[in-house]
Copies of this chain bind each other. A is one copy, B any other.
């Protein structure tokens, strides 16, 4: 992270990272499958799943997933937010990272869909879940990007909250 922030993601080679960590390049690849994973690996998934499960099953899906994501962000501590902010800024700076970010999102989303599938296994319900999870996750991403781009004192959780509201307002 230090090297990437100092000299940029693309201009930093894996060898440099390896040297800085005092290991060989090969060792880096054994711990992180790609260079992008050095930035992107996190472990928010379990918390997100718990928050989604904890909400009322009767709620509309978008509300349920969206509010869970917003609450999860609101619960992060100041240093956690700092790290998140730096990671997001980095992601925005490199196309390769932006691309992988969305792949990551997809994995978390799959877990959420899995958690909400319940007994219903028909493809139509699966489809509906995917649509709603997609909308919530992209709304969250958009909110985080706005948070990272502006120097406002916005709290990310509140931005996500608002994003979900907009979705409700702009739906016929």
Contact = CB atoms under 8 A, between A and B. Distances in A.
Given A171-B60, A171-B171, A131 B123 contact: no
Interface stretch (A18-26, A81-89, A138-146): A138-146
A163 to B, nearest CB: 5
A62 B164 CA distance: 12
A132 B62 CA distance: 13
Contacts of A60: 169-172
Contact of A128 (B99, B106, B166): B166
B61 A132 contact: no
Contact of A63 (B95, B143, B171): B171
B166 A131 contact: yes
A142 B127 contact: yes
Q: How many copies does the complex hold?
A: 2
A77 B143 CA distance: 37
A135 B143 CA distance: 13
Given A102-B99, A138-B138, A150-B123, A131 B171 contact: no
Contact of A127 (B103, B130, B146, B169): B146
A74 B132 CA distance: 23
A129 to B, nearest CB: 9
Given A62-B171, A63-B172, A172-B168, A134 B138 contact: yes
Interface in A100-117: 100, 102-103, 106
Interface string A65-106: 000000000000000000000000000000100111011001
